[in-house]
Amino acid sequence: MTECALRTIGEIGIDGGVSPPDLERLDRAWRCLSAVRRVECALDHLPGRHVLSSSFGMQAAVMLHLVTQVEPRIPVIFVDTGYHFDETYRFVDSLCDRLDLNLHVARAEISPAWQEVRHGRRWERGREALESYNRQTKVEPMQRALEVLDAGTWFSGLRRSQAGTRAGIGFVTRQWRRVKVHPIADWDDREVHRYLTRHRLPYHPLRAQGYLSIGDRHSTRSIHEVDDEEKLRFFGLMRECGLHEAG
């Protein structure tokens, strides 16, 4: 680990109460570290129980491999909306077997079928209804999972190059009163591809069919179905589902 990172950690004296200025200083220090060193640093010095979230999307194998090579039994949270592609569920099973993941599945308290009886197909009724659907099926289950696991630090695979909404993401931030770590925030698609190739890890199987970003089957489109990449998810109404917004 580089001297700049060690000195900053020592000065901050992280003990579970991490202030925004502390995080800003740590974020600056992490610029000179590799992704794996950022993971090691977070595991050694950031507060509480550590967890990793994964959507098991296009490039999910990178973060799942990167973090579990350092901390094999870290809890991995997967939010199951009940509407994932069949290929996604198979991808989850495949990576769990290959990487021996400690998987924790989070679901809404009300089943997808019951939600449709009560609210209809909310993803077809505009932005406000779609936000309500995302909140009930994704955000609330994730928040409950973090509480149940007593998470203090949460790893995520967000990258700045993924979307304009993520262009300013830091290596270490706060969300929902927890420290959130993005070890590969500065990676581009070429670095992701090199990592997958080096470790013989797979992309999501739907990549071969032209899917660039993968979520629920009812609101995900392949590049062959749209005239604008902004419409690949959520019909172009939004880019984020709420799981990764600051708060």
Identity at 205, one-letter amino acid code: P
Give the burial class of 95: count Cβ atoms within 10 A of its Cβ; 0-12 exposed, 13-18 middle, 19 or more buried: buried
Which helix (H) or strand (E) is 140 found in, with range? helix 140-148
Residues 94/61, Cβ–Cβ less than 8 Å:
no
**Which one of the listed residues 32, 41, 96, 241 is annotated catalytic?**
241
Residues 6+ apart with CB under 8 A from 13: none
Contact yes or no for 30/169 (Cβ under 8 A): no
Residue 241 annotated among the catalytic residues of the structure: yes
Cβ atoms of residues 69 and 170 within 8 Å: no
Residues identified as active-site: 241
